[in-house]
Amino acid sequence: MSTSKPPDSSRPAAWHITPMNPAEAPWPLLLLADPSREKVKRYLPGSTCYAARQTAQFTPSGLGALIGVCVLQPPQPERDSWELMNMAVSPSWQRSGIGSALLHHAIGELRKRGIKQLDVGTGSFGDQLLFYQRLGFRVSSIERDFFLRNYTTPLWERGVQLKDMLRLTLAL
């Protein structure tokens, strides 16, 4: 279990990471990382999910309010490694270590299972790319025009349209 404090001391302090049933994954968070509901619906079943929960905020389940999510997909026929499909943190909690803690937790769980490699696809520039590189991921390939072919609505980041997807790999 990981805990940390967000930078703003006026917010409740503690959060923790728990496994989560993919069917309970929060759509508002999932769509922050992948704006295609149809694509998320395809990869969510059969995935392994982890949730970051704010422990100081009461919820009927007693688990705490969801503030982050991490979705991992086991190997598919076309690849031999696990893939990080979705990683999102509530905007008010971003840059407080939750995304890093979620990913470190997921990596630890994969290592316990004997998994040797984790892949992720992301835009060819921007904060997400830096996030994954800081955690040790290395560029392994480029899928040209991925975002143009796979999304009906253009995706933009900092005024630049996303076109190519970088595939990154982390040796576990």
Domain ranges, ordered by start, for the chain:
1-114, 116-172
Burial class (CB in 10 A: 0-12, 13-18, 19+), 6: buried
pLDDT in tens, 90-113: 999 998 899 999 999 999 999 999
Does domain 116-172 sit in CATH 3.40.630.30? yes
Q: How is residue 29 written in tokens?
A: 């968070």
Q: State percent of the chain over pLDDT 90.
A: 68
pTM over 0.85: no
Domain 1-114: CATH class, spelled out: alpha beta
Give the confidence band of 57 by pLDDT, cuts at 50, 70, 90: low
- The reply to whether domains 1-114 and 116-172 share a CATH topology is yes
Across the chain, where does the E strand assignment appear?
15-20, 48-54, 65-73, 82-89, 117-123, 138-143, 156-157, 160-161, 165-171
Average pLDDT over residues 118-143: 93
Region of residue 64 (phi > 0: left; psi between -120 and 50: alpha; otherwise: beta)? left
The answer to whether 57 touches 64, Cβ cutoff 8 Å, is yes
